[in-house]
Amino acid sequence: MATNNKIQAAVQQSKPEAKAQQSVNTMLNGILDGEKMRRRFDELLGKRTPQFLSSLVSMINDNQDLQAAFYANSMSVIKSALQAASYDLPIDPSLGYAYIVPYKNKGKPTATFIIGYKGMVQLCLRTGAYKCVPDAVDVREGELESYNRLTGEAVFNWIEDEDEREELPIIGYAGYFQLKNGAEKTIFMTVKQIKKHEQKNRKGEYMGKGWRENFDAMARKTVIRRLCSKYALMSIEYQNGADKDTMNLATALAAQDYPDDMVEIPVDEETGEVVEQAALPEAYGEELPDFLKEGEADAVYA
């Protein structure tokens, strides 16, 4: 029986995936200890550190492109994970909170950190300042009465009969949030604008799988990301809803005077999109492809 176990263990070790996992584990532990980064993860995550790092190893092993980035530029992966830890967001791509995105920079595999739309909403929730958290809905033909492009003020006449509503074509998507102090924001994008946005930021020549199979979900994500990245109030820290500081945070949006501890997500002033290049360590000086600059991680992993 003991001999059989030894043979089975030897076979397992000979498998490529077993070797890869051992290599990733060894490299990760060596870097964390050598660069004293394990202490930083412990400071950010505490008892959750082992689980977080285990998820990181599994994610690297399950994604060949990320594995290539880890071998070629391991620090880009680890620092991306450290950024996710600093936001206290899970990195499992299936959850949609945060992504460690592999890509090639001048032919060299590397990685960067991108916040997903769920992660943005989570950072909004942590402020405790919202009466209605950022969300998006489809708008059917006849439901949009007016929309002011400058102020963002919109008037909708929602059709209450769901069966009747389902028969009408979708003309666009609206995003909205409201703070406890009464400040609110609405944005609206037509279907044509969203399709143009997707075409501009797609990874290849054709529409990505996520967009092809579930355009509605991807369109809502796009609107929420645009709403949050340009207008929303976000915080890394969890706030008490009854805390005095909460209302100070809520007031900050209207005053355009954000506290120093707020999350600053770089935004393109013309498009309102997240500029993810600024999230990279300055020492890298790497140029991201356009689809990553525009923050389309959801499309990459859809």
- Output the DSSP codes for 164-208: HHHTSPEEEEEEEEEETTS-EEEEEEEHHHHHHHHHHH-SSSS--
Is residue 106 located within the same domain as residue 92? Answer: yes
Is residue 152 located within the same domain as residue 77? Answer: no
Is residue 35 located within the same domain as residue 62? Answer: yes
Residue 231 has pLDDT above 50, yes or no: yes
pLDDT tens-digit map of 72-127: 999 999 999 999 999 999 988 888 899 998 888 888 899 999 888 899 999 999 99
Q: Which domain holds residue 133?
A: 119-265
- Dist. CA 298–CA 19, nearest whole Å: 31
Tell whether 27 is covered by a domain.
yes
Provide CB contacts within 8 A for 69, sequence distance 6+: 76, 77, 102, 103, 109, 110, 111
Confidence of residue 269 (pLDDT cuts 50, 70, 90): very low
Q: How many CB atoms lie under 10 A from the CB of residue 215?
A: 16
- The letter for the amino acid at 279 is A
Is residue 106 located within the same domain as residue 127? Answer: no
237 closest CA partner among 126, 162, 156: 126
Residue 70 has pLDDT above 50, yes or no: yes
Three-state secondary structure call for residue 247: helix
**Which residue, 90, 115, 140, sits at the end of a domain?**
115
Q: How many CB atoms lie under 10 A from the CB of residue 286?
A: 16
Is residue 133 located within the same domain as residue 232? Answer: yes
Q: State what percent of residues in the chain have pLDDT above 90.
A: 37
Q: State what percent of residues in the chain have pLDDT above 70.
A: 70
**Which residue, 65, 89, 115, sits at the end of a domain?**
115
Is residue 199 located within the same domain as residue 172? Answer: yes
Residue 3 has pLDDT above 80, yes or no: no
Residue tagged 């592999």 (tokens): 102
pLDDT in the model for residue 296 = 46
User: How confident is the model over 161-167, as a mean pLDDT?
Assistant: 95
Is residue 130 located within the same domain as residue 100? Answer: no
**Residues 41, 53: contact at Cβ < 8 Å?**
yes
Tell whether 10 is covered by a domain.
yes
pLDDT tens-digit map of 32-66: 887 678 888 998 889 999 999 989 998 998 889 99
- Lowest mean pLDDT: which of 19-23, 186-190, 212-216? 19-23
Tell whether 300 is covered by a domain.
no
Is residue 11 located within the same domain as residue 56? Answer: yes
**Which residue, 57, 90, 115, sits at the end of a domain?**
115
Q: What is the pTM of this model?
A: 0.69
pLDDT in the model for residue 209 = 79
User: How confident is the model over 180-196, as a mean pLDDT?
Assistant: 93
Tell whether 292 is covered by a domain.
no
Is residue 110 located within the same domain as residue 163? Answer: no
Residue tagged 């707020």 (tokens): 262
Is residue 207 located within the same domain as residue 87? Answer: no
Tell whether 298 is covered by a domain.
no
Residue 26 has pLDDT above 90, yes or no: no
Tell whether 288 is covered by a domain.
no
- Dist. CA 138–CA 175, nearest whole Å: 9
The pair of structure tokens assigned to 35 is: 């660069």
Q: Are strands 144-147 and 154-156 parallel, antiparallel or unpaired?
A: antiparallel
Tell whether 294 is covered by a domain.
no
Is residue 152 located within the same domain as residue 50? Answer: no
Where are the alpha helices (H) located in the chain, listed in sequence order? 2-14, 16-34, 37-45, 49-62, 64-72, 74-87, 117-125, 162-166, 191-201, 209-213, 215-231, 244-255, 290-293, 297-301
Per-chain mean pLDDT for the chain: 77
Q: How many domains does the chain have?
A: 2
Is residue 188 located within the same domain as residue 251? Answer: yes
Tell whether 270 is covered by a domain.
no
